[in-house]
Amino acid sequence: DAGVTQSPTHLIKTRGQQVTLRCSPISGHKSVSWYQQVLGQGPQFIFQYYEKEERGRGNFPDRFSARQFPNYSSELNVNALLLGDSALYLCASRSDYTGELFFGEGSRLTVL
Amino acid sequence: GENVEQHPSTLSVQEGDSAVIKCTYSDSASNYFPWYKQELGKRPQLIIDIRSNVGEKKDQRIAVTLNKTAKHFSLHITETQPEDSAVYFCAASTIISWGKLQFGAGTQVVVTP
């Protein structure tokens, strides 16, 4: 079974640009969460989606948005990029049975 | 909202010794406490978790203890090995919102041979 897959793995953008990050959960998992991990810090919760509905939102500006598709894959969009948005963006899917959260390898975003 | 504090930020141990990492949380509603290990450039991986109806849980060389009254939980690694070197994160959540974890700041563990 494939784990959580994310794309792209690395990307470089300039300030003011927009970025879309993609995530495919583990087969059978209906819940997807997004986290931002700045170098040297713990992951910070951005969004949680379950069955295509937003179930939670962290303390991030409206420049951050997300959605979940019928196949449970998800996209995270960030508009008007700032230097401070440079981070590792992690997607995680959750097992309904055990509650365990499984992380993907992440998308490393660098904003210049 | 939930706030999780983690100590120490760095921990250096000799191979074979034990390592202990401590976390405190603020929200009494939290009832799920996982621990993640993150190697450099890799994704966080769940190593053990504990729910509030359990005080202690062990898995080989790893154990976690939970004190709900004091709102703190700890990770214990015995007989440390060089491959245990990594950053360890504690986290807290409620059963209802398992996908929303509040992480601690992390502990860099270095095991020297």
pLDDT per position as a tens digit, A86-107: 999 999 999 888 888 899 999 9
Quote the pLDDT of residue B63. Answer: 97
Per-residue confidence (pLDDT) for residue A1, from 0 to 100: 56
Of A11 and A96, more confident: A11
- Pairs of residues, one from chain A and one from chain B, whose beta carbons lie less than 8 Å apart: 61
CA dist., res. B110 & res. B18, Å (int):
12
Rounded to an integer, the average pLDDT of B84-109 is 90
A73 against B100, higher pLDDT: A73
Q: Do B101 and A101 touch (CB under 8 A)?
A: yes
Q: Residue B99 — pLDDT band, cuts 50, 70, 90?
A: confident
Give which of B33, B90, B100 to mutate to test A binding, by max A Cβ within 10 Å. B100
Chain A positions contacting chain B at CB under 8 Å are 31-33, 35, 40-45, 48, 50, 55-56, 58, 90, 92, 94, 99-106
Q: Do B109 and B62 form a contact (C-beta atoms < 8 A)?
A: no
Tokens of A71: 């196949």
Cβ <8 Å between B34 and A45: no
User: Which candidate from B34, B46, B104 shows the least CB-CB separation from A42?
Assistant: B104
Torsion over CA: B94, B98, B102, B106 (sign): positive
pLDDT tens-digit profile of A22-79? 999 999 999 999 999 999 899 999 999 999 999 999 999 999 999 999 999 999 999 9
Q: What are the pLDDT digits (tens) for B77-93?
A: 999 999 999 999 999 99
Binned at pLDDT 50, 70 and 90, residue B38 comes out as: very high
